[in-house]
Amino acid sequence: MGTKHGNHTLDQYIDTEMKKIITKELERQKNQIILIASENFTSQEVIRTMGSILTNKYAEGYPGDRYYEGCNIVDEVEDLAIRRCNELFNSNYSNVQPHSGVQANTAVFLSVLNCNDRILSMNLRDGGHLSHGHKQNLTGRYFDIYTYSVDPETEIIDYENVRKLAKISKPKLIIAGASSYSRIIDYKKFREIADEVGAFLMADIAHVAGLIAGGQHPTSIGIADFTTATTHKTFRGPRGGLIIADKKYSSLINKSVFPGTQGGPFMHIIAAKAVAFKEALQPAFKVYAKKIVENSKALCDCLKYDGFRIVSGGTDNHLFLIDLTNKNVTGYEVSETLASVGIILNKNVIPYDNLNPNITSGIRIGTPAVTTQGMGVGEMHKIGEYISYTIKNRDNKAGLNDIAQKVKKLVNDFPVYSNMTIP
């Protein structure tokens, strides 16, 4: 390649070793049923934008106020992304630079907390996220973490208990948001509680951002002081994060993202976020978000009917948890067996789980990716049948082979990236 590498055309991969790996991963994504609640198939327009020459540009700072020359064009990229984000979420300030959801959260923490300040967040075991206070995470090491649980009977957030805990612990920040919670989160109730104890409220909508954008979950914007999100789960954009707040917080948040917790922004990713915001502004995205929830409810009902215990009894969003305790099998064993027939999901702790996160009593099932593929309620019934059969007949080799064939046939009927080749 020498110094001329900038001149070769893009019609062929030069690194054939990497080409082989990416080709294999493309085939895997096309040939398995993806039920991981945090994954999706982003559009080819988003993929193309992520792969653009915008990756070459250093742009520390913000539009119109950069530390490098030559930023006038990438300023247009970031301005466009911010404009579209604000239009979509009906906000007056957003920061589209966070590289990920955890980065977005960390920037908010840096903006309003000092070391040892108190955070009240959802227990990880009950659905919270590592970045909300796990002892190995920066939050657990530098802040004083109090957690709230779901009600042991209903497995739904007990807002009165959150209020009680807030009054006892007097946190500086309350976090509303989860990774594996299948019910609507009432941000207004969290706001009331935060106001009663004088705390800031951060809503982490990493999982439900696409549902909020598509009108399928109440919004946190205008209610929480800070909303953080990922752009790659239900939102179906590039891998990344963002922060939305009232513009009175703009300089505080901007400083906390850069130079507080990040260096140069990924301009190719910010451009891809802008493309995804535009996609989410189309009427079709509302239909997509509605179908995600319809599919989630259909698959959940199907498995419930077949004798599986669903945590909290059902779902209002894109995911649900199955408690496998009464089946005498762990989440680890089930997720491995399902993977062997081409059904990909993750083991997950359930509320009050006695097993550790590597084993778990549960599995988490989500429908954003299969919905992008165009599958509907009829297909959810088939998938429910395959999951149920596989769990109940996990020692029946011939039966599992038959399911693997059925899985292949189903995904082939709903192709993704069918015109995509790795040149």
Q: Which residues bind ligand PLP (CB under 6 A)?
A: 38, 100-102, 129, 131, 177-179, 204, 206-207, 230, 241
Nearest residue to ligand PLP, by Cβ distance, number only: 101
DSSP string, 78-144: HHHHHHHHHHHHT-S-EE---SSHHHHHHHHHHHH--TT-EEEEE-GGGT--GGGT-TTSHHHHHSE
Tokens (6 digits) for 268: 């190719």
Query: Cα dihedral sign for 384, 385, 386, 392?
Result: positive
Task: For ligand PLP, give the closer residue by CB, 225 or 301.
Answer: 225
Q: Nearest distance from residue 269's CB to ligand PLP, in Å? A: 11
Specify whether 160 is catalytic. Answer: no
CA R_g for the chain: 22
Q: Nearest distance from residue 181's CB to ligand PLP, in Å? A: 9
Tell me which residue of 115, 352, 367, 88 sits closest to 229, measured CA to CA: 88
Task: For ligand PLP, give the closer residue by CB, 86 or 105.
Answer: 105
Q: Nearest distance from residue 310's CB to ligand PLP, in Å? A: 20
Specify whether 141 is catalytic. Answer: no
In which residue are the tokens 């059969």 written?
A: 389
Task: For ligand PLP, give the closer residue by CB, 35 or 391.
Answer: 35
| Rounded Cα–Cα distance for residues 238 and 273 (Å) | 6
Q: Nearest distance from residue 273's CB to ligand PLP, in Å? A: 13
Task: Answer whether 175's CB lies under 8 Å from 122's CB.
Answer: yes
Specify whether 155 is catalytic. Answer: no
In the set 233, 236, 273, 364, the catalytic residue is: 233
| Rounded Cα–Cα distance for residues 411 and 27 (Å) | 11
For strand 241-245 and strand 309-310, is the pairing parallel, antiparallel, or unpaired?
unpaired
In the set 139, 147, 230, 315, the catalytic residue is: 230
Task: For ligand PLP, give the closer residue by CB, 105 or 312.
Answer: 105
Tokens (6 digits) for 106: 């960390």
In the set 30, 118, 189, 239, the catalytic residue is: 239
Tokens (6 digits) for 172: 């500086």
End-to-end CA distance of the chain: 18
Task: For ligand PLP, give the closer residue by CB, 207 or 394.
Answer: 207
Specify whether 204 is catalytic. Answer: yes
In the set 13, 19, 60, 192, the catalytic residue is: 60
Task: For ligand PLP, give the closer residue by CB, 86 or 230.
Answer: 230
In the set 204, 225, 301, 353, the catalytic residue is: 204
Residues whose CB falls within 8 Å of the CB of residue 29, separated by 6 or more in sequence, listed in order = 41, 416, 417
Q: Nearest distance from residue 257's CB to ligand PLP, in Å? A: 14
Q: Nearest distance from residue 346's CB to ligand PLP, in Å? A: 10
List the catalytic residues: 58, 60, 204, 230, 233, 239
